[in-house]
Amino acid sequence: MSEIEAFKAEVERFIETHNLNPTQFGKTFAGDPLFVFQLRDGREPRTATRQKISAAMSEFEKGAAA
């Protein structure tokens, strides 16, 4: 599995686990309501963008667990 594929899977799991819709996720974590739709259509975000979003998801989960 490539880095991009792993990132896409991570995003999809997060959306499902936290019962978010793709637009909510995009607005909250990427500042782009179309982010997930474009990701599903083949968008390949830069490494820095993927790292920023992964870190934000991690922080969200830490806050949700508290």
pLDDT tens per residue across span 22-37 = 999 999 999 999 999 9
Provide φ and ψ at 9, rounded to 5°: -65, -40
10 has a pLDDT exceeding 70 = yes
Instruction: Please tell me whether residue 42 adopts helix, strand or coil conformation.
Output: coil
Structure tokens at 17: 């686990």
pLDDT of residue 65: 65
Contact criterion met (CB below 8 Å) for 30 and 49: yes
Mean pLDDT of 29-57: 97
64 has a pLDDT exceeding 80 = no
pLDDT band at 55; cut points 50, 70, 90? very high
Instruction: Indicate yes or no: pTM above 0.85.
Output: yes
